[in-house]
Chain A
């Protein structure tokens, strides 16, 4: 099975490679407001979207 060919259809979803990831502001697990780029403080980062912490 090749996952590469399946991913091609969805590679257009979300911010594109080569563009700056948008600034986002959301609360974290302690309810503290987090602004992504500010919290990164100039470091490399992974931004992971996952389905849910409940199911």
Chain B
């Protein structure tokens, strides 16, 4: 479940919840006592506002750093994201997915393709984006039995598993996070390679640094890999997975 905390009053949150049909708890930390006690007070508000060309109003002081904490069943923090720039925000489902291995229940439409012993599918953790929001791109590969793919670093001449996003203005992909590969040695070669097999799930943080009103975006996810078995290697493969992300309506 989700809890949201801000320094707004109960009345402000009541109106906000009614307007946006929010049923999960919006906690009113009026006066910012909890925000301060937890060390979440944004002390750099002035600098941040200057970067976005705005000045700070008195009623904006006491605001928290935008952040998300993921708690496990014991209430222990297992993941956290704290953002300095208040316009970059993760989606909660992406963090749950990445930190707890829970499949996001309402992710974006997926695209799939098959080539060279691998079936690839990709989807964003949300069907919509908001300006300056960070989504998680999930890329899942299913490698045919007795085949494997390589992850960085790869020996010369081999193609490592790589994910890129076609150039869409304002859409920036961070580094992909893959499971740790299995070490493998090939007879006759000195190096140890790192391989992945079976079903592989990686995630890529993607920031949508896009102004409001831009509408639907169609980034293409391009996956590079090379599948090998004990006997042979297939040519390097590239599959393109076209995705759709809609702009979420956002009333301020």
Chain A interface residues toward B at CB < 8 A: 1-4, 6-7, 9-11, 13-22, 24, 26-31, 34, 36-37, 39-40, 42-55
Contact = CB atoms under 8 A, between A and B. Distances in A.
Interface of B: 1-8, 10, 12-17, 22, 25-29, 34-35, 37-40, 42, 60, 63-86, 88-89, 92, 95-96, 100, 102, 134, 172, 174-175, 205, 207, 209, 252
A21 B17 CA distance: 25
Contacts of A52: 6-8, 60, 63
B88 A22 contact: no
User: Is chain A's interface secondary structure helix, strand, loop, or mixed overall?
Assistant: loop
Given A18-B77, A28-B27, A52-B8, A45 B3 contact: yes
24 contacts: A1-B209, A11-B80, A15-B38, A16-B80, A17-B80, A18-B76, A18-B77, A19-B76, A21-B76, A26-B5, A29-B10, A29-B14, A31-B10, A39-B1, A40-B1, A45-B71, A45-B75, A46-B95, A47-B68, A48-B3, A49-B35, A49-B66, A53-B16, A54-B16
B17 A29 contact: yes
Contacts of A44: 1, 70-73, 96, 100, 102
Contact of A40 (B17, B71, B205): B71
Contacts of B14: 29-31
Q: Secondary structure of the B side of the interface?
A: mixed
A14 B38 contact: yes
A53 B14 CA distance: 10
B83 A10 contact: yes
A48 B94 CA distance: 13
10 smallest CB-CB distances across A and B, nearest first, come from: A53-B16, A29-B13, A26-B27, A10-B82, A49-B64, A29-B17, A47-B69, A28-B25, A49-B67, A45-B71
Contacts of B102: 44
A34 B1 contact: no
Contacts of A49: 4-6, 35, 40, 64-68
B76 A20 contact: yes
A45 B88 CA distance: 21
B81 to A, nearest CB: 7
Nearest to A37: B75
A53 B12 contact: yes
Q: Which of A2, A42, A44, A47 has the most CB of B within 10 A?
A: A47
A48 B78 contact: no
A20 B5 CA distance: 18
B77 A29 contact: no
Given A10-B65, A44-B96, 17 more contacts: A2-B174, A3-B88, A14-B38, A17-B78, A22-B38, A26-B28, A29-B17, A29-B25, A42-B73, A45-B70, A45-B75, A46-B3, A47-B68, A47-B71, A48-B68, A50-B6, A53-B26
A11 B86 CA distance: 15
